[in-house]
Structure 1
Amino acid sequence: MYNVMLVDDEEEVRIAIEKKINWQDLGFNVVATAENGQDALERALEAQPDVVMTDINMPFMNGLEFSKQLKAELPATKFVIFSGYDEFEYAKEAIELSAEEYILKPIDADELHSIFTRLKHTLDEEFDKRRNLQNLEKYYQESFPFFREQFLIGLIEGHIEVDRIAEIASDYGEDIKGNFYAVGIIKLSFENSEQFNTTDRKLFSVSLNQLAKETLKDYGNYHCLNYLGNVIVLGCFEKEDEYEEFVSNLDMICKLSAKLIEVPTTAGVGVLVNELKDLFSSFKSAREATAYRKLFDENQAFSIMDVEPDKTEINLFENDNVNTILKLIKIGSTDELNGAIHEFFSNFSEKGIGLYQMKISILEAYFEVLKLAKNYDISGSSIDGNDGDIFEFLDNIDSIQEVEKWFLDKCFFIQKEIKKSRMDSTEVLVDKAKEYIKEHFKDSDLSVDKVCSNLNVSANYFSAVFKKNTGESFVSYLTDIRLKKAVELLETTDEKAYVIAGLVGYDEPNYFSYVFKKAYGISPSKYRQQRES
């Protein structure tokens, strides 16, 4: 079953279209309707329809402009455009938008049935193409020339000798050029999808990679490859400010893949570097960024520079157990951290390592933990407490259990402080955003991008943090602020509704009335009349 959205400014037309055919028999569900392009854009981004059927002539935003904006956000969506006018320019624009059909009112039931029969066939073919295991296997064989793939993997893993990078790039990576570089990792999440076996998971990874390649090819100098069940995207930039666009494009892939592949994804983007030899650092920090999916909603992209302190150094410690502990201190639960530390200490007992050698290993691990704490401005003295000289302190401990408890307490303390620091920083960010909105809500062009530019954070990260802290989106919050101010002005002044519209950030008085009525059930003028009576 595919989802359909109907858009027309006349309610009777929407109802008539909905009743003209048996949608379910054709394989469709009407999941949303809207009466103008502005409203339709917001609803479509929530409903994620497979097909949008829209009129052209509507208030606030016409159907062609709405289709153009939605196509940029949801490139896989199909459009059926209809109009009461047989205008060549309308048809021409519809063709440029790659609309499936352009039809004239009144809409005939047989014609509508025929159109959606064809659309069902087209959508089924696209869906089967992605799910067909043979096609995916073919993609797997044909998509990645072996040597080029090995070159890219060698770059991100840091296994290619520095003086050989230019030589190998001339053979297998001539297009991998730029003044700046960054690595993004798009991670498929199968935690709640036990029905997928190992083969399916590999093929989904291939499908995601193909989707990323096809979608990103016109957005910049990007290179995609499969890597251990994930998709790696290498971005090559001429200018430093292309990095934010890179994050936004990976966010778009996450949202698109969640719909087409039906498995949640998260993208992490590593630090910006200016030489190919440093891609390993970007790759390592991208892996760190993907781990933050535990703290936010899935199907989003995050930059490591948004979620970790600017001064964080990527940990290159060789002990995988210690790296796991460091990661869990930052983003894990206390139970997960407790389990990882217990496993770390159990390895000493299982291998028969003596207490003295164990204490040396613990010191090495503890210094890595202290480095992590320093990145978050947690002082060593607050961690050490009354331990005094750490070497002397450990010398006086006589059992593995005592050392484990001591180490556990330190890690728990740092974990708690990091969570508190993160919470404080996100609250400060949201408070600053609220203050900025309060000061600039009268600006009709106020947007997420404008707020983020002022706060120096990415739009993806800001949107996730803002919604998590306030329980509502930026648009909903801004609308609420504007309408509350409008109510205040209606109650305390004699200004006309169109003047008040401008005073609260709406250039279009009719749209202000529409939004007001949607929120309060009556128009601004009737609201004032009721208050006065």
Structure 2
Amino acid sequence: MGTAAKYKVILVDDEPIILRSLQAAIDWESLGLEIAGTAKNGDGALKLMGEHSPEMIISDIRMPGMDGIALMREVLTNHPKRIFIVISGYGEFEYAREALRQGAFDYLLKPIDHDELTSMLQRAVAQLDAQAENDRLLHSVQVLSVMARERLFSEWIEGNDRPLAYMQWMENSELDRDYFMAVVQLDHYLRLNERWLMDEKRLWLFAVRNILEEWSSQHGGLTVFPFHSGEWIILFPSELQGQKAELGNDLIYQIKRYSKLGCSVGISRGSRGIQQLSQAYQSATRALYQRFYSEKEGVFIDLEAPIGEAPPSDLKYPKQLETGLIESVRTLDTQRLTVLLDELKLYIEQHTAAKESAERMLVEMSIVLYRQLEFANLLVEWPLDGLIQDVHEAANLNESIGMLKKAFTSQMETSIRSQTKEDGHSLVEKAKQYILNHYHKDLSIEEVAEVVDLSISHFCTLFKQVSGYTFLEYLTECRMEKAKYILKNTSVKVYQIAPLVGYQDPKYFTQVFKRATGRTPSEFREETG
């Protein structure tokens, strides 16, 4: 039983009988060889090579058109590791010797001795095997070198200035010159990571790395490698300092074009030497802090802070804002909640906090407000871990605040609808009774809303829905009814009636009374007296 074919062979000769003889007389399969095709001249052989990429060519020297020497020169120029065996007649020894000088593996004289050819093929296969093994070893060394270099760079970026001893042999000459760093971060990576299956994740990250490596080689990058998940590092020579924005924008365009993924790029200040890799990374990520305050992807360049400076300090927790937000949630005042969340956004922006600090504050605030809803039994199928995850996955501050507005407003509006349906009538009746008992005072909507423990906006909506009146309409109606009763049943003067029904100005009372009844108080008394 023969072995599986490892290498492809092309036979080239202008004599069909020799081609048939070679095909039939040699046990190609047992040698691990497969005849991929035959050709009668050099031009035909080149066409077959383009189709099959053979590892071995056996060709006659003397052929019409492109002869064996020209064919061999063409083949070995582009692929010097291919095995080329020439066949020549007794009178063509000078051609055979020229072929050997130009790189032929060996030559055969006609008529062909098949045992000699078999022995020659065995040696050729052994050489191809040795080349394949060398290529595998070289590839392994290259892969290990790349991995080790990336590990070395990562060690320095992480702040370990004493890398493992076995890595110290590596050269890092590209860092002995001035350079700057670009950190490429995929937008919404946490969301993508949750959505991707493991194989999909490997495929996407592999695709992005290929895009970056090809792009980097075309644009003068010194090296490119992945760092954290969803993040890659590219080092550029200092000569490209003036093109930072252009390079970053083209990076974003290429990644979106070929992978359909969005990303942002942070670019550091200039550095020199491997010892400054960590500071360069801090500089580039400090630039990327700006992404949190931007509503879309972009290139962010560290221009101001000296390299090595600490990132923005932690925020001081805004206790006063928290108190206001708690009160707005307690009273289901969605309008006030929205205003205070905008104030919180402005507070964070004014302090230009790092994303981690801002996220921490937003998470703490969200938990406090969530517990307030939970304590009041106002939550509707809304898990806390989902809320926290949404905060972390938001791409920027604007998106975070928008998400909190939408999430809490939705819960509060659901609670308002629920309360309106369950006990809205009793709350409005309570408000009406309070108005009837206090109509003669300087009664405000804030006072009545507080009595029924509702926000002003919620109270206004609920009162109108249940009673059919606005608060002011109902209060005025109560006062007018009391005024009519006094006018009809007593002789109290008009100017004395005004303060009895809540109006300190008699003239204003008269205007309101006429607007409500179509008559002045005096006219009403005369008509009903």
Q: TM-score range by the shorter chain?
A: 0.3 to 0.5
Structure with the greater alpha carbon radius of gyration:
2
TM-score for both structures, normalised by structure 2: 0.35
